[in-house]
């Protein structure tokens, strides 16, 4: 989609530190990390948010979640624990309207989140 930051990252028009990918999902490091591991996992196709991603055909949301777990394993945080967050809508702090899961780990994470 034109004027979408994450579509531009998928296309390679904007650089990102890619860490893993599948046919339909891409994982890259957040530019402003909030934990030692802070990776964004996105569908390569444009879906504006979680609802659209969940409604997409063929288990695309499953693929995003499975890739998040794979990255957690690769980063060595799958045993210590990690968090996967979809900020959805303005009060949750969503700023990029291309669906993305934040994978956070590598430090104790407080609950409830701020």
Least separation in angstroms between residue 47's CB and ligand 5GP is 13
Beta bridge partners of 29: 39
Rule CB under 6 A: choose which of 3, 31, 57, 114 binds ligand 5GP. Answer: 31
| Cα distances (Å, whole numbers) of residue 82 to 43, 79, 109 | 20, 8, 8
**Which of 101, 103, 74, 106 has its CA nearest to residue 87?**
101
Please say which residue, 22 or 94, places its beta carbon nearer to ligand 5GP. Answer: 94
C-alpha span between 30 and 33 (Å, rounded) = 5
Least separation in angstroms between residue 58's CB and ligand 5GP is 24
16 contributes a contact to ligand 5GP by CB under 6 A: yes
Q: Of residues 38, 47, 98, 100, which has the active-site annotation?
A: 100
Task: Answer yes or no: 38 catalytic.
Answer: no
Query: Which active-site residues does the annotation give?
Result: 100
């Amino acid at each position: 989609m034109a004027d979408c930051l994450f579509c531009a990252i998928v296309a390679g028009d904007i650089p990102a530190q890619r860490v893993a990918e599948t046919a339909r999902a891409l994982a890259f490091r957040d530019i402003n990390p909030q934990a030692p591991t802070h990776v964004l996992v996105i569908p390569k196709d444009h879906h504006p948010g979680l609802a659209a991603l969940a409604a997409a055909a063929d288990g695309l949301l499953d693929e995003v979640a499975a890739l998040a777990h794979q990255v957690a394993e690769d980063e060595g945080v799958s045993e210590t624990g990690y968090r996967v967050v979809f900020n959805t809508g303005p009060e949750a702090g969503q700023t990029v309207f291309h669906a993305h899961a934040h994978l956070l780990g590598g430090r104790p994470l407080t609950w409830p989140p701020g």
